[in-house]
Structure 1
Amino acid sequence: MSSDQNFNGRSEIGEGSSRGGGSGGGSGGGLIIPSDSKQPPLAPPQLSRYESQKRRDWNTFGQYLKNQRPPVALSHCNYSHVLDFLRYLDQFGKTKVHLQGCVFFGHPDPAGPCTCPLRQAWGSLDALIGRLRAAYEENGGLPEMNPFASGAIRVYLREVRDSQAKARGIPYKKKKKKRNTPIIKANKETSNFPMQ
């Protein structure tokens, strides 16, 4: 608050430019509030879902590094730590990935339960790496030193994608955008133009 707004321990909150004596009589349009009254603190702006998730992922990865024996400083983190983190996350996965010897290997809709492990889905890992890659640079990391942008991470994600697709019998193909081109057929009977 500027010093010209303080007046004997009171704050003046005016509307518009009412300080210079507005139209009509009265006290100039300002509202006098004692300075000892408490104003509610301003809440920080609401983060988007993506920003909230990115912050949680970044904190989780930082905690993972701290829990290593010996603890790993973020400045010493490299792609091998990231790969270990991705493998560690598999224990919390919810996607059934059939093993080569399983009777349901290669079947998209298995008929019954099996003992194959649950893993993190490829799409979840891919999105996670994207968020961590952005968070690394937002937290002062150099783009050329970003362990989440390493070629080894891309290779790992590609292998996970391909193995999960094969195990579930769903070949991964990049989806192409379909073009909606209207097909116009000329019909002699319904034409509005007279035939000559």
Structure 2
Amino acid sequence: MRIKICGITRPEDARFAEEAGADAIGVVVCSGNVSRRNVPLEQAKKIFRAVGPFTTTVAVSHTTSEDELRKMIALSPDAIQISRPFKFDNHPGVKLIRVAGRGEPLPVDCDAIIVDDSHGTGRTFDRSYARDAVRTARIPVILAGGLTPENVGAAIREVRPYAVDVASGVEVSPGIKDHKKIKAFIAACRMQEQIP
């Protein structure tokens, strides 16, 4: 089970997530009018530099601007996660994660799909849609939306995703992570690996 802690706004939270066992960190950029977790590109660089080479860095955005998309890619994250249906003539040079929500067709022109209706609001994912996505997709499916340390175990057992992604479920306030909740979330995920 892979785990992404998303919506990180401070280098110290990125370092803590990595030390606690997260596989990936997500930083929201170019989304100032959509996300309260948005950070400037320079801050994103600092956050990405705070983790080691074996932790995946993901630039997350709701932008509709191709110029902003290019700036995101220029950060050299390991992956970009986008919610708009940008078309690429050539591979962007980083892993591409596309967001899909209830009722939407699953994208195929990407490296992974994140099933998420929440976009950091804590809205719970659609269980039926998520299960169908895992069953039918030919690429990894990441589960997000309303996950917390208390419910992630049941979500993993029910959906069997490639990875889980949490933002609001491990926060004190938008963008400020609760280190105890991060540890509890990761522990709950790792516990599922022990269950046959």
- Normalised by the length of structure 1, the TM-score is 0.26
- Normalised by the length of structure 2, the TM-score is 0.26
Which has more helix, going by share of residues? 1
Which has more strand, going by share of residues? 2
Please tell me whether Structure 1 or Structure 2 has the larger radius of gyration of its CA atoms: 1
Higher relative contact order (CA 8 A, sep 6+): 2
